[in-house]
Amino acid sequence: MTTFAGDELVFQRERCCEVVPLSLDAGTLGTGQLLVGTRYSLISQGTEVANFTGLDPGTRQPGTWNCYPHRPGYAAIGTIVASGTAAADAPEFAVGDLVLAITRHARYGVADPAVRPVARLRPDDDLTTLILCRLAAIAMTGIRRAGSVDLGGRAMVVGLGLVGFFAAQLLRLAGMDVLGIDPAAVRRDAAAAAGLDVGTAAAASPKPIGVRRADGADLVIEASGSPGGLRLSLEAVRDGGEVVLLGTPRGASPLNATDLMSAVHYRGLRLTGALEWLLPLRSAPWSARWSLCDSYHTLIRLFRAGDLGLGGWQVQTVRPGAAQVVYTELADEPPRARAVAFDWAS
């Protein structure tokens, strides 16, 4: 069978990313699996950087999905170069199709449409924009999971990294009055360039989490994953409102659990988790109305139509050999309005 050789990235240990040789035999592909020749692969500045730095404790726990040595990967765009036997219950893809998939940072990656979303793209698509669909799909999960998305309602998004930035745009498309909050001026400016209303924590008119308020947001999406972001969300939401936890929590929290429980209890708040994988892969009759695959198809359409944009965000492409430098910069430097993708064809 045909063997495909190239390179891949490996986090060997904390703060150490190496480029290592990779060899994949097309004959080992399972039913429905696709071998994708990668053009671009996108860095997650949340999950991947937490794994690179060891902030996520799983990196030091043998047997976990991200323990060292860890092969990172978040989203990729490339061309199908080989496939396993077609699966009867999954969409058929053909060699030569251009696809968006979830694979490793590698010259070649295995995608499995029965496990993770795979979406066809067109040759004329803007690939370095559409690769951001993975982050926009995470934002979409917050919209799908929320029970308070309503035409004319008031919403706030805490954290304007790309996930929060896309969540704010989607809420605006749904007809809500949206305010985006972030301490970094560069990210506020990038969101404002997309026409979003932005501010700092002071703009949210926060009050202590246990104080009743009728003038806050109907819906707050916490997209920073920080304890401070959760506190601000609880301070800013109105009585009877909803806080959606979209950002993955990391780091120690000074927030007293009793204070948190009391605020939710006495103020009638709803606290909703919005992990991406809570949505099913595909929707089906008599089950979930929306799925991960639905989100990808919708987002691709919105990007193509210009209804979702990058505002002041830029997408930087770098060679895989620069991975150690890039991950270190993302971990240590102040936030930027910059997404980074590896270019495997350069």
pLDDT at 203 over 80: no
Q: How many CA atoms lie within 13 A of 225 on its CB side?
A: 17
Is residue 28 located within the same domain as residue 84?
Answer: yes
- Residue 288: the pLDDT is 66
Residue 299 lies in a domain: no
Supply the angle between the helices 162-173 and 133-145 in degrees, to the nearest 10. 50
Nearest to 345 by CA among 31, 74, 77, 75: 77
pLDDT band of 124, cuts 50, 70, 90: very high
Co-location of 61 and 20 in the same domain: yes
22: enclosing H helix or E strand: strand 16-25
Residue-level pLDDT at 59: 92
- Cα(302)–Cα(15) distance, rounded to whole angstroms? 36
Task: Say which residue, 249 or 332, is predicted with more confidence.
Answer: 332
Bridge partners (DSSP) listed for residue 79: 37, 98
Asked if residues 178 and 238 have their Cβ atoms less than 8 Å apart, the reply is no
> Which phi and psi angles does 17 have, rounded to 5°?
-115, 125
Q: Is 302 a domain residue? A: no
Q: Quick one: CA dihedral 179, 250, 132, 120, positive or negative?
A: negative
Long-range contacts, stretch 84-88, CB < 8 angstroms, 24+ apart: 84/29, 84/30, 84/31, 84/32, 84/33, 84/34, 85/31, 85/32, 86/31, 86/32, 87/31, 87/32, 87/113, 87/114
How many C-beta atoms surround the C-beta of residue 219 within 10 A? 29
Residue type, 148: S
CATH number for 146: 3.40.50.720
Q: Does residue 304 form part of some domain?
A: no
Domain range for residue 163? Answer: 141-278
Q: How many domains does the chain have?
A: 2
Say how far apart CA 100 and CA 36 lie, in whole Å.
9
Summarize pLDDT for 14-23 with one digit per residue, the tens.
999 999 999 9
Residues 257 and 173 in one domain: yes
User: Are 115 and 34 contacting, i.e. CB atoms less than 8 angstroms apart?
Assistant: no
Strand partners, 108: 37
Tell me: do 114 and 189 sit in the same domain. Answer: no
Report pLDDT digits (tens) over 61-101. Answer: 999 999 999 999 999 999 999 998 876 555 679 999 999 99
Question: What span, in angstroms and rounded, lies between the C-alpha atoms of 63 and 58?
Answer: 9
Tell me, yes or no, whether 20 and 125 share the same domain: yes
Pairwise CA distance, residues 49 & 333, whole Å: 12
**CA angle, residues 280, 233, 248, in degrees to nearest 5:** 40
Residue with the bigger pLDDT between 308 and 207: it is: 308
* Residue ranges with strand state E in 127-207: 154-158, 177-181, 197-199
Last residue of a domain, one of 254, 278, 302: 278
Distance of alpha carbon 127 from alpha carbon 185, whole angstroms: 28
Q: Please indicate, yes or no, whether residues 49 and 127 belong to a single structural domain of this protein.
A: yes
| Same domain as 196, residue 105 | no
**pTM to 2 decimal places:** 0.93
Which positions ≥6 away from 114 have C-beta within 8 Å? 32, 87, 89, 90, 281
The verdict on 191 and 92 lying in the same domain is no
**For position 87, what pLDDT does the model report?**
64
Tokens found for residue 286: 């008599």
pLDDT tens-digit readout, 166-198: 999 999 999 999 999 999 999 999 999 999 999
pLDDT at 211: 80
Q: Give the pLDDT confidence score for residue 201 in this predicted structure.
A: 78
123 lies in some domain: yes
The C-alpha atoms of residue 296 and residue 118 are separated, in whole angstroms, by: 8
